[in-house]
Structure 1
């Protein structure tokens, strides 16, 4: 197994821009205490308010924020989102942790052939990685 678990860049995300119909799909690239970065196919205007979702976990919004920067990439755009409230940062942190635990569960199955239920995967991940995860947010 890898020394480090896959990080945010493999987490699918959906965003719903205020005032627009539908949502956009993309991939989370980074999560911090102030906000997150993600890639989407089409530009979203700086200043736009949006809700973000982690479709693999819930249909409910994981948090809210506003776009503070938008940079073109080759075939997409990377956006910087500033959280609307401290609570949104906390929720995003918990979502990231859940995604990392699910990635751990998949890697254990792939690399060790062990099937872990979600509770056992969480217990193993917490024992192995939680301290490092917490240090990133200190």
Structure 2
């Protein structure tokens, strides 16, 4: 199972929701299953959460399950899995867009001005092959 680290400069809105029944997850499955993200508050393992990301897509909204939440010096590192095929696929696509936007912002800090398409082309060439594949 692979989790992608969501960029800290694109904060997710993570909201606790009523626990939902998720299908059983095969712990041996390979490929992309979720994300890790930074949050200012802790979440209990096993709880259901709703995730939105206005900055990338105002219509993006998925539900997942907290699998780990660890205290760090300035907050919490949360791992969220997306057990359904549809949500997992949607999150993987949003994460690629988030990684491209993060890459564009880092280039700007380094003094390079890239539009989104230029950043996407560079990110794809450098990192797309190593981005976890979608498998369920």
TM range (shorter): 0.5 to 0.7
Between the aligned partners of 2:108 and 2:77, the Cα distance in structure 1 is 32
TM-score with structure 1 length normalisation? 0.67
Between the aligned partners of 1:92 and 1:38, the Cα distance in structure 2 is 13
Q: How many residues align?
A: 117
Do the aligned partners of 2:54 and 2:60 also contact (CA within 8 Å) in 1?
Answer: no
Partner residue, 1:44: 43
Partner residue, 1:95: 94
> Please, what is the CA RMSD of the aligned residues?
2.5
Unaligned runs of 5+ in 1: 1-6, 20-31
Unaligned runs of 5+ in 2: 19-30
TM-score with structure 2 length normalisation? 0.67
Between the aligned partners of 1:9 and 1:105, the Cα distance in structure 2 is 12
Determine which of 104, 114, 118 is the counterpart of 1:116.
114
Higher share in helix: 1
Partner residue, 2:104: 105
Summarize the Cα distance change of 1:17–1:123 in structure 2 as closer, same or farther, 3 Å threshold: same
**Which structure's relative contact order is higher, taking Cα pairs within 8 Å and 6+ residues apart?**
2
Runs of 4+ displaced beyond 4 Å: none
Q: Give SS of 1:61's match.
A: strand
Q: Give SS of 2:58's match.
A: coil
Between the aligned partners of 2:115 and 2:42, the Cα distance in structure 1 is 39
Between the aligned partners of 2:41 and 2:111, the Cα distance in structure 1 is 39
